[in-house]
Amino acid sequence: MRDTPELPEIKDASVGTLRLEGTLAKRLPGMPSGELNDLAFTDARRVEAEQAMADMRAAFDISRQYDKRSKAVAKAKSRQMDRELRNKESAGRINRRKVQGNSNRAAKRTIRNYARNHLGMGTDLYR
């Protein structure tokens, strides 16, 4: 009889095994190089947390600079719009005054010309 080679061992594929597959402990950091007397391990989680906090601090600093810049731009735009509105308001007031004066003068001119030309009044009687 022939000896059949053994089949490789089948991995356990139960739900519990699959669920725990990605939760294995992280690999430990390497041994410190240097003297043999200094064999203390580094605190890998603390180092990772410090790096994560430094990264978060840098990202927050960038977003804070963006916010500061956008607030400054919005403030400048608001000041410019306010200045334009104030100038437009005073210019509008001046223009309305001019137009109103012109229309009053035109009305008086029309009455004066009617009095002179149609009613026969002289320049000394109706000004």
Written as one letter, the residue type at 108 is K
Lookup result for tokens 């950091």: 29
Is residue 68 packed enough to be buried (19+ CB in 10 Å), middle (13-18) or exposed (0-12)?
exposed
Percent of the chain with pLDDT over 90: 13
Taking the complete model, does pTM exceed 0.75, yes or no? no
For residue 95, how many other CB atoms are within 10 A of its CB?
A: 10
What secondary structure letter does DSSP report for 126?
-
Paired tokens of 27: 């690999």
pLDDT in tens, 54-63: 999 998 998 8
Whether residue 126 contacts residue 112, with contact meaning beta carbons closer than 8 Å, is answered with: yes
Query: CB atoms < 10 A from the CB of 12, how many?
Result: 8
Q: Which tens digits make up the pLDDT trace of 67-97?
A: 999 999 999 998 888 888 777 777 777 776 7
Q: How confident is the model at residue 52 (pLDDT cuts 50, 70, 90)?
A: very high
Q: Tokens 């200094």 label which residue?
A: 38
Residues 6+ apart with CB under 8 A from 39: 31, 32
